[in-house]
Structure formats: C-alpha cells, structure tokens
A and B are shown apart, each in its own frame.
Chain A
Amino acid sequence: MNALTGMWQNVPAASRDDLAGARRRLLDGMQARPALTTSRRRVVTAPRLLVAAGVAAAAVTAPLVAGGGTPAYAVTENPDGTITVALNEMRDPEGLRADLLTAGVTADVSFLAPHTRCADSRFEGADPSYGSRGHTEAQLRKGVEQWRSFAATQVVDVREIRIRPEFIRPGETLVLEFRDNQDARRPWRLGAWLAKAGSPVKPCTPVADAG
C-alpha cells in the first residue's frame, strides 16, 4: 500500500495559474444563479466577486509576497516542523543555504544550467540513493520506500519543496541540486540526497548531461 501511496506523488498540487480557468467557471456559474434564499435580496455583482477572489488569493500567497515583491526564494518553517522552500528564481544559492541553516538544516545548494549536472562523487551518501544508477529494479523499489533521502525532501508544488528534518540525522548535509528546466510550468528539476555525517561535500563541478 505504501508503494501505491507514493505512486506519482511528484504530481504537484495545482497552482493558482492551473486553477484560474476552473475558478473563473465557478465564479461565472455562481453569478448565473440567484442565491437560494431571497429574503435578503442581495445582488451579487462582479466587483464583489472579484474582491472575494482577491482576498482568498492573498491568503494563499501571503508567504511569498510578505516582503513586497516576489523574492528569489522563501524559506518558511511550518507548525508541523517541516520547512517549505519556495524557489521562484535560481539565484543566490548561498543565501538559501544560510536561511536553511537558520531553520536548522545544514544544506548544500547548487543551481545548474540546462543540460548539466554536478559531477559524481561529491560526497558519501547517507543511503544508497546517491550514485544509484546501477541499482536493480528491485533495489529501487525497496529504496523508494526506505531511503531517507527520498523522505527528507519532497516536491510539493511547481516551485516548492518541503523538507522534513525528522529524516535528517545530526551531522548530515542535505544536498540539493536544482537544474534549470527551461520550462515555466516546470522551472527546475531537483536532485536531493543526504550526505553522510562527517562526509564533506565537494563543490559542484557542472558537467554536461543529456537529460
């Protein structure tokens, strides 16, 4: 059952853009129909609906625009102990690393150009997920459920990842490699692994990659 739960979990929750058409259809449909109760004889006007839409949308996007304008990234510590990283632009990896450290996560962040990846063997992985190209299918099936690297970082939206520190042990480094995907709908691809405690992480040396 766990395997099924994890199936296609990379499908992100819909963004505001994804839902704009459906929301418009709902608002149009709401306007087309009178309120079920006529005692108050309210007239629902377009401006009122737009205000409602704006208020709700602001609530959803508040963390991203709290500082005025959209920052390159935002690190949010959630009440459940997880950390959300919204990555809007691939710049300032050091700033992101520092903010993650402030949030309690030792991380190494690399932003990569399209069709590149970091050269192999940058660190010793805390589990076999790093450098696992040679694994068999059976090993991979097992690994997806068991390796902490897969559990520690999840992509939850087009531009957001969630880090779950409960899966990161003391001394380990969360290694994040974001590659520019040249696609506004899926702006980057992520490789995320845990480096073993005591294993230094070498700087990323970009190499060509066909993927």
Chain B
Amino acid sequence: MTTTREVVAADDATLIERSLHEPEVFAVLFDRHAPLLHRYVTRRLGPSDAEDVVADTFLAAFQNRGDYDRGRPDARPWLYGIASNMIGKRRRAETSLYRAYLRSGMHPGEIPGAQVEDGVNTLAVNRPLARALLRLNRADRDVLLLVAWAGLSYQEVADALAIPPGTVASRLNRARNQMRQDLPEGDWQ
C-alpha cells in the first residue's frame, strides 16, 4: 500500500473497490468505522459480545465486498445493516442486557460517573427507556436504534435493512408511539 494518503482520504466505495485487488486496503475501512460500530453494538449487547459482532461484521463485509453498490460513498449503512443481522442472532443477549440494567442500574460498557456529578445518575432517565426498549419487537427496535444511536437517516436505515423508506417510517412511527405509551408522561420528546 504505497499511496497511504490517497487511501486515507478515499471514500468508502473507493476503498472497497480497491480492496478487490488489494485486500489489505480493507483494513482502512475497519479503522475508519469499527470504533463507532463497536460502540453501537456495545450499547445494544454489552462489551463481551461487541468484539465478536464487530469481527463477524467486517469479515462478512470483506467476503461480500464484490457485491457492494459503489454508488454509495458511505459504507456505514452497509456495515450497520450487517451488524443488525448479527445482533438479531443474539437477541437474547440484548434482552438480557436490558433486564440486567433494570435490576442493577449498570450498563457494562459505560464509563461510570462520566459527565454527571457522583451523586447524580442517569438511572432515572434510562431505566424507563430500557423497559420500553425491551417491549419493542426486534424490527422496530432495529429501526429506532439505528436512527437514535447510530445516527443514520431514514434513507440510510432503508439501505441498511434493505427495506423501503416507507417501511422505515412506519416502523419508526410505531416504535415511537410504543415508547411514548410506555414512558411517564412528558419523558418522550
């Protein structure tokens, strides 16, 4: 890999295309997106599953890179879509994490005490949310959390999950309504 600056500056689609001939270039895609993908998976499954899911996601992406739509310069929807499938296979781990949080008030991936005073915690905010997330069906939760935690747009979620944008909108609407019903009045804004 002799043109490092070009590689670092290239968009994802260019990197993926180039990796067809130079597989090692794919590692740059990992370094670019793995830190935040790992964070997203950790929020949903906890740190013990996150490493496996991230590794499996990038391996699957690498093996299927020949099918990547090179008209999409940002590979995040593609990667988060693969990760969503991996998370779906570990649904029990996800629901266990929410239940454990309801009991203990501790998320295993969080930095304790960050940005809040020691005596103040966000448990009061998060516990009702965890309870509400637990009650969502998997498809609705995927859409809601890809928007809320991964920061994807409706179109990007549609690309990630290979569903029409209208389906994204209806699932998101259903998930929001469900959350609204499950949370104390005024807590869902």
Contacts and interface: CB of A to CB of B under 8 A. Distances in A.
A106 interface: no
B43 A8 contact: yes
Contacts of B130: 7
Closest 6 pairs (CB-CB, A-B): A189-B113, A133-B119, A14-B38, A137-B124, A22-B55, A155-B114
Contact of B27 (A3, A49, A129, A189): A49
A35 B21 contact: yes
Interface stretch (B70-78, B85-93, B104-112, B156-164): B104-112
Q: How big is the B interface, by class?
A: 35 or more
5 contacts: A10-B111, A11-B39, A21-B55, A52-B25, A154-B115
Contacts of B28: 52, 56
Interface in A3-19: 3-8, 10-15, 18-19
Interface of B: 1, 4, 8, 20-28, 30-31, 34-36, 38-39, 42-43, 47, 50-52, 54-55, 58-59, 62-63, 65-66, 107, 109-122, 124-126, 129-130, 144, 148-149, 176, 179, 184, 187-189
Given A14-B38, A52-B27, A191-B116, 9 more contacts: A14-B39, A19-B51, A25-B59, A29-B59, A37-B20, A56-B31, A129-B116, A137-B124, A192-B115
A186 B111 contact: yes
Max chain A Cβ within 10 angstroms of own Cβ: one of B20, B47, B118: B118
Max chain A Cβ within 10 angstroms of own Cβ: one of B42, B50, B120: B120
Contacts of B24: 30, 44, 48-49, 52
Interface residues of A, number: 69
Does more than half of chain A's interface fall in helix, strand or loop, or is it mixed? Answer: mixed
A57 interface: yes
A1 interface: yes
A81 to B, nearest CB: 19
A197 interface: no
B118 to A, nearest CB: 5
Interface of A: 1-8, 10-15, 18-19, 21-23, 25-27, 29-30, 33, 35-37, 40, 42, 44, 48-49, 51-53, 55-57, 59-60, 117, 129-133, 135, 137-138, 140-141, 144-145, 150, 153-155, 158, 179, 181, 186, 189-193, 209, 211
